[in-house]
Amino acid sequence: MAGSPDDKQDEEGLKDPMVRFHSFLHGGTSSLLSTFIVFPVYKIVFRQQIHNTPVYQAVGQLYKEGPAKLFRGVTPPLLMKTLNGTLLFGLQDTLLRQLSLSSQNVISTSALPALAGFGAGMVEAVVFTPFERVQNVLQNGQNDRQLPTLKSVLVRLKAQRLALGYYRALLPITARNAFGSSLYFGLKGPVCAAMEGQALYPMVSSFISGTLTSVATSLILYPLNVLVANMQAEVGGEDYADAFSYNRTCAPLLQKSSKMSNKCPITKEVQQFKKERLNSTEVVEKNPLPTTQVIEEEKIAMEEETAKEPLNKELETFDQQVLKKTEVQEKNPLPTADVIEEEKIALEEKAAKEPLNEELVQFKTSKLRKSITKESNHRPTAAEIEAEKKAMKEGKK
């Protein structure tokens, strides 16, 4: 009813800025804390999606990279999830209040949270797709060398057009966020009410209902997460929109070409042709190629034939008397080892008989001149030393 107290409270809550601010603040704070705490787990899941590896290999990759790179790429998701939670919860609450006031008796009250979540998810996809794109590029270990910093990633994506750069995989992200938000907000209320019926504290029931709803939504939309991660992890490549446009343009042409080929008279004659009209004929090859068996048989026959016939008839019938005797003298015959030894012995005997040095033998010593040589420093003999000692003793006396 338009004049009911609940409607008045909704109108007052919609007009009160503090009520709307609390919904934005709660969503942003919860998203900030959850993103920072769960980021290593999220990174392990991302490595599994990209490299198609089991959990222990993904953990081993992060362990080898070290703690310095454990939180590499945390800035984009931290900003994205904080702003994402702020916008998602705040916008959903705002849309829910607007829909509850404007669509009374038109849409079921239980369906309003899901509808508000669907609209908030679409806005979220348009706003935060660039953040997710940068995050996936940074988390891919294969981009560490080419794009080591956040600035290099931003510059590289800016150089490309939006469909390949910041807004790559926009359609899958929009579908994932819209349906995910719709499922989350649509199921959270009934699950929370069921938890409160179990006599639990409101905070505990809200936590359990949010966890169960998030797990169910994540499992349902996990294939879209894998698709988005693989599309956004690489920089460059073919855009999926190009493939769709190629199919849209080429499919009609292929259909037209197939229709034209069916109308062609040649194809009709080929289809109507009957094989029974053909006459059976035998075809003999003029120069058939020999098989391996034929080649082997020819080899054996040739070997048997050569074994029966003399190897060389001319050589066997040759008469040696026809040859003339000739003497051949070598101009410069090479000496043998015996000849070399004989020459060595002869040279040794000749050297022993002849004087070693004819000039030395013929030298006359009479030609030498006699000369007296005095030593400048004469060394005294033993007799001279004894004589000097005696002279010194007599002088003392």
**C-alpha count within 13 angstroms, C-beta hemisphere, residue 262:** 6
Domain map (residue ranges) of the chain: 5-236, 240-267
Q: What is the DSSP string of 295-319?
A: HHHHHHHHHHHHHHS-S-HHHHS--
Q: What was the pLDDT predicted at 220?
A: 93
Q: Which pair of structure tokens corresponds to residue 52?
A: 């198609």
**Backbone phi, psi, residue 71, to 5°:** -105, 25
Which DSSP symbol is given to 290? P
Q: What is the mean pLDDT of each run of 10 residues along the chain (397 residues)?
A: 42 55 75 83 83 86 84 79 82 84 75 90 91 86 84 90 90 94 90 79 81 90 91 74 47 50 57 65 63 84 76 66 65 77 87 66 67 63 86 78
Measure CA 225 to chain center: 23
Number of Cβ within 10 Å of residue 368's Cβ equals 8
Listed in sequence order, the residues at least 6 apart from 113 whose beta carbon sits closer than 8 Å to its beta carbon are 92, 96, 185, 186, 188, 189
Contact indicator for 115, 179 with CB cutoff of 8 Å? no
Q: What was the pLDDT predicted at 326?
A: 64
Contact indicator for 76, 42 with CB cutoff of 8 Å? no
Q: What was the pLDDT predicted at 2?
A: 38
The CATH number of 5-236 is 1.50.40.10
Q: How far apart are CA 70 and CA 80, in angstroms?
A: 18
Helices (H), the chain: 5-15, 17-51, 55-65, 75-102, 112-139, 150-158, 170-196, 202-220, 222-233, 240-263, 265-272, 292-308, 313-316, 337-353, 358-362, 382-396
Which DSSP symbol is given to 334? P
Q: Which pair of structure tokens corresponds to residue 259?
A: 């229709």
Q: What was the pLDDT predicted at 118?
A: 93
